[in-house]
Structure 1
Amino acid sequence: MSDQEIFEMPVLETERLRLRKLKETDVEDVFYYGSDAEVSRYVTWDRHQTIIDTKRFLEFAKGRYAEKQVAPWGIEWKETGKIIGTIDFIWWNPKHRSAEIGYVLSRDFWGRGIMTEAAKEVIRFGFEEMDLMRIQARCLVENIGSSRVMEKAGMSFEGILRKAMFTKGKHWDIKIYSILWEELL
């Protein structure tokens, strides 16, 4: 798949999920989980205080789509058509054939294997369509749920980056995981 086609953000589907571009009409769904303090506890962004915060995020995503940059897929729950989270390549380096994924999920859907399902599909897309060699993901050491997602998605724990991220007023230790193309064979 060409870079141009990748940046078009093709719709990806799994048994329960549809990964697609976010739209302005998703604002209520995104605000629902984006305003949840538990959801934003271990991420770099602050809880959405008002719907305006969510609209700004959707404008950011729309801009990334237009600029042909890596951008979030909305995670649509097929059963209801609602957006329940996002997943994306935070960065992508075609020269080195590597990328990093990041994700967030509504608390209503935690513990059901949903994020693992989404992560596996994005990993598959990265290896099969983007010709990646390595995909990594990181999380705060305290984020046990995210660590489990990475492990269940087939990623290997590589180590802890000490005091590697400053967010929410302090430095945090970060766990790093990765999966290599040949590990999926």
Structure 2
Amino acid sequence: MGISIRCWQEGDCRALARNADDPRIAERLRDTFPSPYTEEDAAFFINLARRTTDDSGWIYAITKDNEVVGGISLTFGSDVYARSAELGYWIGTGYWGHGIATEAVQQICERAFRETDVLRIEAEVFSDNPGSIRVLEKNHFIREGYFCQRVYKCGRMLDSVLFACFK
């Protein structure tokens, strides 16, 4: 299928903006994800991602056949959470339902468990995002909790679901 994760590159701005500029993506993510998503937003984000050190986390592009189609990140915990990490990801809507996110999540989790001291990776998704829930389930994440009216997004309260996988 040609799916890989890699560091963001300066030349990724146009593809990032093209794939991220869809309200259906932004409504499934935290409010720090811009909507609309411009090339200026993309340049700012890529600059930030390229400055992020491996000690704090990984911020990668997801590519299909060398074309950027989404993003994935792993934020490492600190203090008593030093052996845990938080996973986040998104895929351009034109690529939904093709197993791309499933493969990218598998790759980043395998790398984290192989190359770091992380023992637990968790992800919190909005309950109305069955595609993302399925991505986690296919990667052997276990549903740990259901939080009623946990987030305020797009003018309404939403439930969220916490998933985790372990080394």
Q: TM-score range by the shorter chain?
A: 0.7 to 0.9
**1:1-185 matches, cutoff 5 A:** 16-44=2-30, 45-65=33-53, 69-77=56-64, 79=65, 81-93=66-78, 96=81, 97-181=83-167
1:46 aligned partner, one-letter code: P
1:154 aligned partner, one-letter code: H
Identity among equivalent positions (%) equals 25
1:104 aligned partner, one-letter code: W
Segment drifting more, 45-54 vs 110-119 = 45-54
Deviation at 1:94, TM superposition (A): 7.3
Q: How many residues align?
A: 164
Deviation at 1:107, TM superposition (A): 1.2
Name structure 2 gaps, 5 residues minimum.
Answer: none
CA RMSD in angstroms comes to: 2.0
1:159 aligned partner, one-letter code: G
State the alpha-carbon separation in 2 of the partners of residues 171 and 152 from structure 1. 27
State the alpha-carbon separation in 1 of the partners of residues 78 and 51 from structure 2. 20
State the alpha-carbon separation in 1 of the partners of residues 79 and 5 from structure 2. 22
Deviation at 1:169, TM superposition (A): 4.2
Q: Does the residue aligned with 1:75 lie in a helix, a strand or coil?
A: strand
Deviation at 1:70, TM superposition (A): 1.5
Give the 3 Å change call, closer, same or farther, for CA 63–171 of structure 1 in structure 2. Answer: farther
Deviation at 1:49, TM superposition (A): 4.1
Q: TM-score, normalised by structure 2?
A: 0.87
Segment drifting more, 112-121 vs 84-93 = 84-93
Name structure 1 gaps, 5 residues minimum.
Answer: 1-14
Deviations 1:127-152 (A, max 9, x none): 12112211111111111111010001
The answer on whether the counterparts of 2:144 and 2:164 sit within 8 Å (CA) in structure 1 is: yes
Deviation at 1:68, TM superposition (A): 5.1
State the alpha-carbon separation in 1 of the partners of residues 152 and 40 from structure 2. 25
State the alpha-carbon separation in 2 of the partners of residues 164 and 70 from structure 1. 25
Give the 3 Å change call, closer, same or farther, for CA 153–73 of structure 1 in structure 2. Answer: same
Give the 3 Å change call, closer, same or farther, for CA 131–82 of structure 1 in structure 2. Answer: same
Give the 3 Å change call, closer, same or farther, for CA 95–159 of structure 1 in structure 2. Answer: closer
